[in-house]
Amino acid sequence: MANLRLCYLQISNSLCTEPWYAGRGSRFYHGSWKTVSNRKKVSQPIERPVGWSGSCIVQCCSTSSTTSAAEATEQVFLEDRSSIEEKEEQFEYLASEFGWKVRRLAENRDEMREVAQIQAEAFHTPVALFDDLFFEFFKAEVLSGLLYKLKNSPPDRYACLVAEPAAERKLVGIVDVTALRDKDVLQHLEGADEYLYISGIAVSKSFRRRKIGSVLLKACDVLSHLWGFECLALRAYEDDMGARKLYTNAGYKVVSSDPQWVTWIGRKRRVIMIKRSNMLD
């Protein structure tokens, strides 16, 4: 499986700069209104409205009206989140194949620690001295990033999916799914303004080569359908033929690779692989 450590850490950073919007209609996120229509172009942030009615902004002067507008804004957000969660709850498991099931991470400390452990084991680069200590630091960093994304991401902009055996609750595989608008990827997705980015794929050492990665990718397809995204993308190391075969079998195609000069600074070249979901209505 490809070592996607750099991709995973970039997701944490990108969440600080990515626009906060989701679904259809107007939403209020982090002090700005954003408008989207069928996940197309997003308007620039405007001044915070002092009133709101339906899908229109209404100017009001009274304190009571401002309070009502804030309550209405909160209600819209809660209704949107509830609608998304209800849709996902229809599928307790997003995918179920080969004896494995994939669901969304339950937001409790025990499962979050399990996720951090699995991803840290997959992506940590051993060091000559004090490796155990550095591993614990890295695991703490992974857990911190996970907590940040779960807390600050709208429900249909980020998800951590986990795989477990069909007969028990034991996490054996992880994948992160994030809505992004990176121009390096969008230039290969004609007509798309955003896409789902797949990263942080990790499987417990004792469960590798048992089709868990395939089931995780299938769950990403299902999630793209539920969230209304047509395109998915990921990055893999150019020389990791095992991972590239996995992604190719799942329908991803290589569209570009890092320039040759990245090897001059000690980095491994990566390829961008994309697919268009075949699950949309």
Q: Where are the domains of the chain?
A: 5-20+94-276, 25-86
| Whole-number pLDDT of residue 83 | 55
The SS3 of residue 224 is helix
Active-site residue identified among 8, 21, 158, 247? 247
Going from the C-alpha of 101 to that of each of 115, 157, 164, the distances in angstroms are: 16, 22, 6
Task: Give the β-pairing of 32-36 and 25-29.
Answer: antiparallel
What secondary structure letter does DSSP report for 281?
-
Token code pair at residue 119: 């991803």
Mean model confidence pLDDT for the chain: 77
Out of 28-37, 178-187, 272-281, least confident range: 28-37
Nearby residues of 185 by Cβ (< 8 Å), 6 or more positions away: 195, 197, 233, 272, 274
Where are the alpha helices (H) located in the chain, listed in sequence order?
5-14, 63-89, 109-123, 131-152, 183-186, 212-227, 241-249
- Whether the pLDDT of residue 166 is over 70: the answer is yes
- Per-residue pLDDT of 193-241, as tens digits, reads 999 999 999 999 999 999 999 999 999 999 999 999 999 999 999 999 9
- Whether the pLDDT of residue 81 is over 90: the answer is no
For residues 237 and 14, the model is more confident at: 237
Q: How far apart are CA 152 and CA 29, in angstroms?
A: 10
Task: Identify the band that residue 4 occupies on the pLDDT scale cut at 50, 70 and 90.
Answer: very low
pTM: 0.69
Given a contact cutoff of 8 angstroms between Cβ atoms, the answer to whether 244 and 236 are in contact is yes
- 8 is annotated as an active-site residue: no
Which sign does the torsion angle of CA 208, 214, 219, 223 carry?
positive
| Whole-number pLDDT of residue 169 | 87
Q: How far apart are CA 149 and CA 15, in angstroms?
A: 7
Amino acid at 65: S
Q: Which CATH number fits domain 5-20+94-276: 3.40.50.920, 3.40.630.30, 3.40.50.1820, 3.40.1000.10?
A: 3.40.630.30
Token code pair at residue 141: 């960093």
Task: Identify the band that residue 30 occupies on the pLDDT scale cut at 50, 70 and 90.
Answer: very low
Token code pair at residue 26: 């107007």
| Whole-number pLDDT of residue 6 | 42
